[in-house]
Amino acid sequence: MMAASTKIVEQEPGEIELLLPWHAAGTLNPRDSRKVEEALAHDPELARQYAVIREEYAGTIDLNESLGAPSVRAMLKLFAAIDAEPARKPRASMNMAARLAGFFASLSPRTLAWSASLGAVVLVLQAGIIAAVLMNNRPASFETASLSINEPITRDLAAASSPRALVRFAPDARIGDITALLDKYQASIVDGGKGGMFRLQFANAAMSKDEFSGLLSRLQNEKIVSLAVATP
């Protein structure tokens, strides 16, 4: 160990050697990339080090991918904070990026709108997937994606047969609106995305059939809900 440390301290990296990690990641400019490739072709020691770097590169990606993804709580917190922000007045003078955006918008507003809508749906879908994953990982309980941001509520699934509904949201429904609706109805998205339908589960397991029908009617009349039907 000591000898290895001494050896390490003694070695001074060369210019090409320093660039190897970026070559492995494919982020070098063409000129530097050519220089590295030429050096690799003629220097077996450098090539050996490059092989090690590729292992590190793969290992780093592997490690980061294993970290998983954040819960929906982060998104809810963000958009609650954005909702609390003062309304923004359109700026009189736009910077280059904004002008560019305006240019693209004038060319293909439907494309951009569709991309954005798709993104919103993906986010909602993610909420459903996360909820489903939570259910799978914790057989007896899951954390809602809809109630208090700061105080997630855990409900006991084993003891409850909570009523569920399939819901399709209006295309212009915003995340903030959906979150508010879920909160209002004490509901969680437990599955979703198939055919644009989301499976909602309601917290009140003690609802009678009539009460649930009434709830579905109210849900159906919500502006951001296109369709709401009971489901097992």
Partner 1 sequence: MASDDVLIARIAQGDRLAMQVLYGRHHVRVFRFGLRLVRDEQVAEDLISEVFLDVWRQAGKFEGRSAVSTWVLAITRFKALSALRRRKDAELDDEAAGAIEDTSDDPEVSVQKKDTSDALRRCLGGLSAEHREIVDLVYYHEKSVEEVAGIIGIPENTVKTRLFYARKKLAELLKAAGIERGWP
* Nearest distance in Å: CB 119, partner 1: 3
Chain positions 131 to 190 lying near partner 1, rule: CB under 8 A, are 174-176
Using a 10 angstrom Cβ sphere, with 0-12 exposed, 13-18 middle and 19 or more buried, the burial of residue 188 is buried
Cα 154 to Cα 134: distance, rounded to the nearest angstrom: 11
Chain positions 6 to 25 lying near partner 1, rule: CB under 8 A, are 7-8, 11, 13, 17-19, 21-22, 24-25
* Nearest distance in Å: CB 131, partner 1: 16
x-or-dash string of contact with partner 1, 63-102, rule CB under 8 A? xx-xx-xxx-xxx-xxx-xx--x-xx-xx--xxxxxxxxx
State which residue, 51 or 229, has the beta carbon closest to partner 1.
Answer: 51
| Contact yes or no for 187/203 (Cβ under 8 A) | yes
Question: E strands of the chain, at which residues?
Answer: 141-143, 154-156, 164-169, 187-192, 198-202, 225-231
State which residue, 142 or 202, has the beta carbon closest to partner 1.
Answer: 142
* Nearest distance in Å: CB 56, partner 1: 7
Cα 203 to Cα 99: distance, rounded to the nearest angstrom: 47
* Nearest distance in Å: CB 160, partner 1: 27
* Nearest distance in Å: CB 207, partner 1: 32
State which residue, 145 or 215, has the beta carbon closest to partner 1.
Answer: 145
| Contact yes or no for 40/70 (Cβ under 8 A) | no
Number of residues interacting with partner 1: please give it, by CB under 8 A: 75
Q: State how beta strands 154-156 and 198-202 pair.
A: unpaired
Among 35, 43, 57, 186, binds partner 1 (CB under 8 A): 57
Among 40, 53, 205, 207, binds partner 1 (CB under 8 A): 53
Residue 35 found at the interface with partner 1 (CB under 8 A): no
Question: Phi, psi (5° rounding) for residue 165?
Answer: -140, 150
Chain positions 198 to 227 lying near partner 1, rule: CB under 8 A, are none
Give the three-class secondary structure for 131.
helix
* Nearest distance in Å: CB 14, partner 1: 10
Instruction: List beta partners, residue 231.
Output: 164
* Nearest distance in Å: CB 51, partner 1: 8
Among 26, 139, 195, 232, binds partner 1 (CB under 8 A): 26
Residue 193: half-sphere exposure toward Cβ, Cα within 13 Å: 17
Cα 64 to Cα 28: distance, rounded to the nearest angstrom: 22
